[in-house]
Amino acid sequence: MFSKMFTPAVASLAGLSSLVGVATAHPFQGAESLMARDSAETVLAPMTNWGGIGADPNAELYDWDTFYWSNGNVVANLTCTGGEDHKMLNVARMGDEIQGLDCSNPGKLTMTFKDNAAKKSAKHDWKWLHAKKEHTMVLVVDGGECGGPDGRKQYAVSDVHYDGSDPIATLYSSPTTWEDLVDDYTLRVRSGAFDNDGQSLSKRIGGSGSVDIANDFSKNLFSQDFNGVTLSVDCAHCATTGSIDFDFEIGLFSGLTGSVTARNGLGASVGLGVTASGELTAPVDIASIRILNLPLTPISIAGIATFGPEINVDAKAGLSAISGQVSADFGVAMVIPDGTTLRIGGDSDAINPQFSKIGPTISASVQVTASLGPVITFDIAATVFGKGLVAGLGLAAPKLDATLTASASTAGGVCGINDAIAGVELDVNVGVELNLFGGFGSAADQPNAKTIFSTSTPIFDTCLVITTGSTQGAVNGNDGIRPKVGTVTYTDGSQADLFNSGANSDDTPINPLSDTQDIQSITIDGGVGLAECAISTSFIDTNIGCGPNFFLFVAAGTTADVPSDLAKSTLCMRCPNLV
């Protein structure tokens, strides 16, 4: 079909073929950074003389040709043919051979050549038009009145009359659309840096063109106060970072291919923030909710295509039963190394994400499991010559699965610290799954979706000291000697001594020793000068001491069993001050 090839155009396509990218986002205004986030459409303007078109003037007709558009740092090129009975002429190729073009008379274009020699050359080149009645010459005109309101206009020419003496030709024509004239095409739309062969284009459009997708979507996911229990779950430190280069190629018969290249620290971060006060006996599951819908500036090529990029973020979370008063904040940031290229319709580069910790901060020794999983989707929905396509990526990451295990010992040694009597072990795994999709259809369909990367790795494996204090018989930093007042018995039969703190602000935590050593009972010794000690469902911190929910009062010389639903909790003992 492409029987006659125009060598400079072929060379230019080869030079551009190394561009990388895939899209997200803030289409371009001039040479500015891609930050537009409104509904105003970015219309790509024709690039008339790219690659030296017109420097070597000729009026030859071609079976196919390539046309360029740009606005700022987005570039599009359409390579097309009109079919067997159509040949194309980009008027810009005639260079200074043309002195003027008049389209004021409907049905006619009047072309003025620089001289009769130029007219004669064109007449020779255009003789194909008259060889067969069905032949049509498609004339593409940029700029001026004849270029129309979009800066580029197409005319179907059926006949040409040449003036006998003056360098003038009358082209009998009618305006036509790209959709009506194109028999086959390849459309390429891309952003980003250019290689050596594309330097002239890079200089012309300016800048690197990378699409900024940075956005903070931190949000409260759940907040409720019921029956004295307050619970709040946040997607904290939740954000996308960095930018991308994009490169899409759409063919009438070949469909869609493309790539995304990571730039400037492309990645995402997520943190789990939990605030709880009281006793929550049932787990909380937060169904997937949309926490961000960010339409980005649409791109259009007049008469050919429109592209509507957007970013969506959905998140879900879960929390097991929890008792006490606690606030916790921890998370992870993930970055994909710059230059990593993900390809639709081809093999992607190896993906080696780098992880870094956020936090942790935890206010109290607590036992709970929690999860938070955002799904970040970037897609570009396109309409090309009336057909719908979509391409994009889905990042289910970073997904946090966390276990907080309370740890306490009145003898000290928690977290390997001699004077630590309460702490929490934090284990967090982060999961990542990355999908690419692209083809004819809608974003909801995610056509030809393919998982290109999946992993799970530990990010936190640490023990945090919550409370420090002295061991048996030693001096308490606040109130002096801490006398023994009782014993805690665990479900495996082991026991640990309980010491009076000496002050309410130093209330004593009572914690399970391990997953198999839950709290079974509490004994308060007789003969130490106490009437009874009160047991709370939670130990808050060293400043506040016990939480407000006292559920058990153990008289001196007696033993009280701990309810099974609290056996894995961090409890707190408050006894009258003995010192």
> pLDDT tens digit string along 135-174?
999 999 999 899 999 999 999 999 999 998 999 999 999 9
Distance separating alpha carbons of residues 6 and 65, to the nearest angstrom: 7
pLDDT for position 36: 36
Average pLDDT for residues 353-382, to the nearest whole number? 85
C-alpha span between 257 and 53 (Å, rounded): 28
Confidence class of residue 209 from pLDDT cuts 50, 70 and 90? Answer: low
Classify each residue of 312-330 as buried b or exposed e, where b means 16 or more C-beta atoms within 10 Å of its C-beta: bbbbbbbbebbbbbbbbbb
Sheet harboring 136-142: ordered strands across? 86-90, 136-142, 152-162, 168-176, 108-113, 98-102
Confidence of residue 440 (pLDDT cuts 50, 70, 90): confident
Torsion (CA) 132, 134, 138, 144 in degrees, nearest 10: 100
Of 112-116, 305-309, 537-541, minimum mean pLDDT range: 537-541
Give domain limits for the chain: 7-189, 215-244+265-467, 471-574
Nearest CA-CA partner of 389 in 559, 540, 246, 250 = 250
What is the distance between the alpha carbons of residues 548 and 541, in angstroms, rounded to a whole number? 13
Domain 471-574 top-level CATH class: mainly beta
The predicted pLDDT at position 469 comes to 59
pTM here is: 0.68
Calpha distance 29→33 (Å, rounded): 8
Looking at the chain, the whole-number percentage of residues with pLDDT higher than 90 is: 34
Residue 20 has pLDDT above 70, yes or no: no
Q: Would the CA dihedral through 192, 194, 200, 206 be positive or negative?
A: positive
- Of 495, 361, 362, 474, the closest CA to residue 418 belongs to 474
